[in-house]
Structure 1
Amino acid sequence: MRKLERENESLRHAIENYRELERRRASGPSAPGTAGGEDAEDGEEDEVEKAVEVSPNGTFLKFNEEIGRGSFKTVYKGLDTTTGVFVRLLSGNRLSKKDRDRFREEADLMKGLTHPNIVRFYDFWEVDKPKRSCIVLVTELMTSGTLRTYLKNFGQKKVSLKIIKLWCRQILRGLQFLHSRNPPIIHRDLKCDNIFISGTTGQVKVGDLGLATLKNRSFAKSVIGTPEFMAPEVYEEHYDEAVDVYAFGMCMLEMVTAEYPYSECTGPAQIYKKVITGIKPSSFEKIEDAQTRELIEWCTRLNNKERPTVKQLLNHEFFAEDCGMRLDVANREETVSSDRSVIELQLRVLDAKKRRDTHKENEAIQFNYVLNKDNPEETAKQMVMSGLLAEENWRPVAKMIVNQIQSLVRAREEKRREQAVPQTQSAPAAGPAPTAPGAAVHASVHASASLPAVSAPVDTSVSTESDAALSEKKEKKIRPRRRKTCERLPRLTVLEVKGSDNGPVVSCLLETNQSQAITFKFDLHEADVTAISYKMVYECNRLQ
């Protein structure tokens, strides 16, 4: 308490000194001869020197204390002079006039987003100088930083499932608030780097909403966010709130495994190929808890129509508050493999205060539920009328029945899909050896026209050396590349070629040397590929 009082006192002094210095500057130089005046003024200037920039209205001070940095932003510590509360200042990269106009329209909307699990957006101001043109965002400052940084503090020790559930509930509540606006607000760039936590209270908030909007509006929606957390439909630029559910599933995967999704991939092109084919990250196999694994798989399904809504997730028993009861499907594996409509359920009352005298701690209430016939609420009320449950417990039991039946139906559908897939992958047909990701695509780029693709040189000379000597030479050529990964050049990959009334339409993915991923499309017959390449280089340099 004393430490907090001292910090508040120092803040008050800093604000008073700053305001006093502003008054002196406005009134002109002070008269000489004042005893100790020069020393006092120097002390005040030293105190104010920490503030390197002031908002146009004089409300916010920006200190030269960098607290975070990303490919799109630099984060500084700031101060609200009206309240004495520290804030977070995000200074973004250069933006076009069109992007600024769009952001101004959304600024008032973001100021009105007030929710316990959404980082508060206070204000913004524009910096328009010859060598520096950007927008500075002022948001709430969370004391413990991002959730990803917080996870790193645990080291090799995994976070308990109880804490993960607590975090996830708060993230889902924040997303539900955004998705329930009219029109719905989609975050588009949800990841653990954009989720913030207060370590002293355990409060979690979803942040960088305005920044995510800026990133996705830049470069005609072609500059996309973080590939590891992007749903497949984002690449097609036709998406809805389901992209946030997909990203939430990847965030949950990172919390459970303490590994960044798709860390086994070497670049955005490899991640893209896995994402659009529905291949999960390798860390997905490390999930130990079956229910957690099922939930993450549900959230990250390839078809966005098969993913749950945020509301469905909040109603799921996994994220529900501990009600002192647990419901399970009896002989679950056998029930999943069968097509029986009569399901045996077992309810265990773990809280002694909710347990009836007729039931012991190790006993379960077993009852049948008929699919497509019985109603969860009516079933729970019948248990109350039979004296098996207290009247205040029928709602939690009804919700648990709904969740168990939905989980069982999903498991049966997944089982049927696995059985329907022909087992041909175990014995692949003979054919050419697999190539490195993007190799075939680069070949098609060179054959199509003069597209500005970067490809590794191909050695077409005929050699008479043995296979062993050739393989040894290849290994020697590859080793230096691994040491020079930081010096890689931009890389262009053709994603697909679709036919249209005007001819073939080519979709491409460009990986810049700053690990940015840019997708774009063009008409093969009518487009000027040279102009496209110059435009891409210009936009990449502008956004860096």
Structure 2
Amino acid sequence: MLLSSLTHSCALQVNQGNMPGIQSTFLAMDTEEGVEVVWNELLFTDKKAFKAHEEKIKTMFEQLVLVDHPNIVKLHKYWLDVKDSKARVIFITEYVSSGSLKQFLKKTKKNHKAMNARAWKRWCTQILSALSFLHSCEPPIIHGNLTSDTIFIQHNGLIKIGSVWHRVFANALPDDLRSPIRIEREELRNLHFFPPEYGQKADGTAVDIFSFGMCALEMAVLEIQTNGDTRVSEEAIVRARHSLDDPNMREFILSCLTLNPDKRPTANNLLFHRVLFEVHSLKLLAAHCFINNQYLMPENVVEEKIKELDLNMVMAEIRREGRPGAQWRYSEVSFLELDKFLEDVRNGIYPLMNFAVSRPHALPRALSQPQEDTQKAKTPTPEPFDVETRKVVQMQCNMELNEDKTQWHLTLLLILEDKLHRQLSYDLLPTDNSKDLATELVHYGFIHEDDCEKLANFLENAFHKYRSPPL
């Protein structure tokens, strides 16, 4: 659907490639979904070499499209364009509206001396959530190019890391096709993000932890001063570290910057560091359960429930032997803050996965197999329709009889987790049932397969409500 409804303007060039080395990136519009995306072009001048590895490239991109995490820039679609003496890969990635973290920090530096501690915690948590996801794959996925230029921020505070697949992409391509991929270290201003062991031995997940530590330091102080040749010196880094007032923040960052890679903490361990533990896990779990099941509740359920509460009622109590207990009443809770917190959870600001048991994620086979294994690199048979990856957060429907009162017309409104609306209409047949309709919507890519049973139950209740004769 996205391919047929995509338009792009060459006048609107943007600096948000999903991989370094992309020759051109343009802002594009998916006219069907009504969202802006990024159009990326990767040019190969050796058409003959490209054709020899075309199946491998296809297989790799087929699998990359499947990767989905709220704090990773999404790769939506791709296609190959082979003509004349050149070949190119065009791929469509998510557009992050407010630009890179580097740009944001520069703007903030004009009005503030340091980053707000709460915002710093939220950003670190989201970046680590994405790294924990990548590192828990089997085998682990190494980002290898994490800098403040490859981290992006949306207007609502959601952090997304880009260039995630640059290392995998570069390593997967044969030598005769690697020329379009830029070497990560060619920019002097970003050299300090790479650990001392970089390039001297096989990369491990500790490479990303060091880079994250530098990003966390830069976020805390807003800018690490460079010297004349645009490189960040060791002295500037030391000054930045010593300028941190919070001892927990300083210890957290220094643990990431340990010179010995074997002694650096993991992304999952860092998520539980005391400096990041802003929200109690029980509160976070409750919020995620509420958001995930919101389709079962009225849109203003929080507001209505608050009206029914006795503000003097005790909501929690700690009992102590030999002395008075501590009580927490509803009057001590700011309900405006609750609405804002739920909105942040809905937008992905507080990811849940760092509190879950760490489970390895299967690495797409096209990325984990050796280069010479061409037999297993066949392009999988594509599905006839797009797979919907967004969940439904709210459902509404209406049923009306046609003019001759012989057939029901169903109008279904689905509100997806990214706030986009999808309205569907259908003339019901006497043989139609809710389960078959929901299954068909999954098949055609209108809803996520996890929402199939929920929608079937929702439609069944609607059919019963409208079709049942009045008492």
Whether the 8 Å contact between 1:188 and 1:213 is mirrored in structure 2 is no
Alpha-carbon separation, structure 1, partners of 2:90 and 2:124: 30
Equivalent position of 1:259 in the other structure: 223
Task: Summarize the Cα distance change of 1:264–1:174 in structure 2 as closer, same or farther, 3 Å threshold.
Answer: same
Q: In 1, are the aligned partners of 2:6 and 2:31 still within 8 Å (CA)?
A: yes
TM-score (norm 2): 0.50
**1:171 alignment partner in structure 2:** 127
The alpha carbon displacement at 1:304 in A equals 0.5
Moved more, 210-219 or 230-239: 210-219
Tell me, in whole angstroms, the C-alpha distance in 1 between the residues paired with 2:228 and 2:57: 34
Contact 2:45 2:87 in 1 (8 A): yes
Counterpart check, 1:310 vs 2:267 = yes
Alignment of 1:34-433 (within 5 A): 58-64=4-10, 65-68=12-15, 72-73=21-22, 74-92=24-42, 94=44, 97=49, 103-128=57-82, 133-156=87-110, 157=112, 158-199=114-155, 201-214=156-169, 218=178, 223-225=183-185, 226-260=190-224, 263-264=226-227, 266=229, 280=237, 282-323=239-280, 358=323
Following TM superposition, by how much is the alpha carbon of 1:255 offset from its aligned partner in structure 2, in angstroms?
0.4
More helix by share: 1
Q: Supply the distance in 1 between the matched residues of 2:34 and 2:6 (Cα, whole angstroms).
A: 10
Structure 2 residue ranges without an equivalent (≥5): 282-314, 327-354, 356-471
Q: Is the 8 A contact 1:86 1:141 kept in 2?
A: yes
SS in 2 for 1:252: helix
Mapped partners of 2:212, 2:31: distance in 1: 36
Report Cα offsets for 1:444-503 as digits up to 9, x if no partner.
Answer: xxxxxxxxxxxxxxxxxxxxxxxxxxxxxxxxxxxxxxxxxxxxxxxxxxxxxxxxxxxx
Compute the displacement of 1:251 (Å). 0.7
Please tell me the residue identity of whatever aligns with 1:317.
R
Secondary structure in structure 2 of the residue aligned to 1:232: coil
Question: Match of 1:175, SS?
Answer: helix
1:248 Cα deviation (Å)? 0.7
TM-score normalised per structure 1: 0.44
Give me the whole-angstrom Cα distance separating, in 1, the residues matched to 2:55 and 2:102.
32
The range that moved more, 131-140 or 301-310, is 131-140
Determine the C-alpha separation between the residues in 2 that align with 1:245 and 1:89: 30
**8 Å contact from structure 2 (residues 252, 273) kept in 1:** no
Kept in 2, the 8 Å contact 1:245–1:308? The answer is yes
Q: What is the distance in 2 between the residues matched to 1:59 and 1:263?
A: 45
CA distance in 2, matches of 1:353, 1:185: 43
Provide closer, same or farther for how the CA distance between residues 95 and 285 of structure 1 changes in structure 2, counting only shifts above 3 A. Answer: farther
Task: Name the amino acid aligned to 1:283.
Answer: A
Structure 1 contact 72–93 (Cα < 8 Å) conserved:
no
Give the CA deviation at 1:246. 0.9
Q: Compute the RMSD of aligned alpha carbons.
A: 3.8
Query: One-letter code of the match for 2:102?
Result: R
Once residues 144 and 104 of structure 1 are traced to their aligned partners in structure 2, the CA distance between those partners, rounded to angstroms, is: 31
Is this contact kept in 1: 2:42–2:180, CA < 8 A? no
Matched-pair contact (CA < 8 Å) for 1:118–1:207: yes
**What is the CA–CA distance in structure 2 between the aligned matches of 1:122 and 1:169, rounded to whole Å?**
25
C-alpha displacement of 1:353: 5.7
> Aligned with 2:79: secondary structure?
strand
Report the Cα offset of residue 122 of structure 1.
0.8
Asked if structure 2 preserves the Cα contact closer than 8 Å seen for 1:114 and 1:120, the reply is yes
The aligned amino acid for 1:148 is K
Post-superposition Cα deviations, 1:294-336, rounded to whole Å, max 9, x if no partner, equal 1111101111001000111011111113449xxxxxxxxxxxx
CA distance in structure 1 between the aligned counterparts of 2:161 and 2:109, rounded to whole angstroms: 23
> What one-letter code is carried by the residue in structure 1 that aligns with 2:218?
E
> Do the aligned partners of residues 188 and 291 (structure 1) sit closer, same or farther apart at CA in structure 2, a change above 3 Å counting?
same
Shift of 1:207: 1.8
Shift of residue 114 of structure 1?
1.1
Change (3 A) 1:148 1:135: same
Deviation at 1:100, TM superposition (A): 6.7
AA of the residue aligned to 2:131: L
Cα distance in 1 for partners of 2:102, 2:271 equals 22
Name 1:26's counterpart in structure 2: none
Q: Count how many residue pairs are aligned between Structure 1 and Structure 2.
A: 275
More relative contact order, 1 or 2 (CA 8 Å, 6+ apart): 2
CA contact (8 A) 2:143 2:166 kept: no
Amino acid at match of 2:13: E
Give SS of 2:137's match.
Answer: coil
Counterparts of 1:306 and 1:146, CA distance in 2: 30
- For the structure 1 residues 114 and 68, does the alpha-carbon distance in structure 2 shift closer, same or farther, using more than 3 Å as the test? same
Q: Deviations over 1:329-370 (max 9, x none)?
A: xxxxxxxxxxxxxxxxxxxxxxx9666564899xxxxxxxxx
> Secondary structure of 1:192's match?
coil
* Distance in 2 (alpha carbons) for counterparts of 1:59 and 1:240: 40
Question: How far is 1:120 from its partner?
Answer: 1.2
**C-alpha distance in structure 1 between counterparts of 2:201 and 2:181, whole Å:** 8
Q: What is the distance in 2 between the residues matched to 1:93 and 1:300?
A: 37
Give me the whole-angstrom Cα distance separating, in 1, the residues matched to 2:222 and 2:91: 30
Given that 1:103 and 1:214 are in contact with CA atoms closer than 8 Å, whether structure 2 keeps it comes out as no
Aligned twin of 2:352: none
Structure 1 residue 132: Cα displacement: 6.2
Partner letter of residue 73 of structure 2? V
CA contact (8 A) 1:215 1:223 kept: no
CA distance in 1, matches of 2:319, 2:252: 32
Instruction: Report the AA paired with residue 297 of structure 1.
Output: L
AA paired with 1:252? A
> Equivalent residue for 2:347?
none
